[in-house]
Structure 1
């Protein structure tokens, strides 16, 4: 399994500096719902400290955690792809500090700086590929455990 990519460290220093001009410091208390699946995705975050759980609603009463994110991780990618709605929900598992980025401002910056746009999209794609690989591994592990217990 490949190592998780961190968005800000993946960007060359000049592009990182340009992106960071758009950052706003935010914090979320523990147990805060940051966003819900289906809501408008108009921003994203890079976690500075704390932990965030990505959740999927499986019944009207039950959510399951599908991933845990920590310092340096990208929170939110749905702002890049139509229909610009969150695919998962997110909740602060502990107090969280993060850099928040307005999606429209970042997309505007990417139009001005095509190199930044290309690097940003490739970095997000690599992050998504890593998360998919991790999720696939977890599903295979659960499948194997269930199959063994059924025998």
Structure 2
């Protein structure tokens, strides 16, 4: 599965709020095959992918993790940092070398509290990503495990 272009940062955050968020970014690079986070662990960072690809996956009892979506340029990686209890709902692993803007979740949450307009904009952006990722996960799991699939293939 490919990433969804509607989840891209520039489409949902105005330049003003994007600029505020980016003041908290630092550059991060990861080689291929690095596990960035696992389901159920503490979500204390998130990323906006600059280059490369990251596979989002989900544990399925008795099976290997199922890749739900592959994220790439401009995609938000990680949303669990914004919503209590701040634990990852999916897992993520680099598919190849990745370059990203990395953010400390606590610093961004603090900025959101201190500046409610920015907080609202970021929350709406992340909420949109959450809704789309859950739909992708639902469709992927139906394709894999439902007797007749999700019906999305004709």
* TM-score normalised according to structure 1 size: 0.85
The structure having more radius of gyration, on CA atoms, is 1
Matching residue within 43, 46, 49 for 2:45: 43
Partner of 1:131: 133
CA distance in 2, matches of 1:138, 1:61: 15
CA distance in 2, matches of 1:60, 1:139: 15
Tell me the number of residue pairs that the alignment of Structure 1 and Structure 2 aligns: 146
CA distance in 2, matches of 1:118, 1:110: 7
Partner of 1:108: 110
Matches within 5 A, 1:56-135: 56-59=58-61, 62-135=64-137
CA distance in 2, matches of 1:14, 1:22: 14
Shift in alpha-carbon separation, 1:77–1:96, aligned structure 2, 3 A: same
Partner of 2:30: 28
**Which one has the bigger helix percentage?**
1
CA distance in 2, matches of 1:3, 1:83: 28
Shift in alpha-carbon separation, 1:93–1:3, aligned structure 2, 3 A: closer
Determine if contact 2:68/2:140 at 8 Å carries over to the other structure.
no
Tell me the CA shift for residue 36 of structure 1: 1.2
CA distance in 1, matches of 2:139, 2:90: 19
Tell me the CA shift for residue 3 of structure 1: 5.5
Gaps of 5+ in 2: none
Gaps of 5+ in 1: none
Tell me the CA shift for residue 23 of structure 1: 0.1
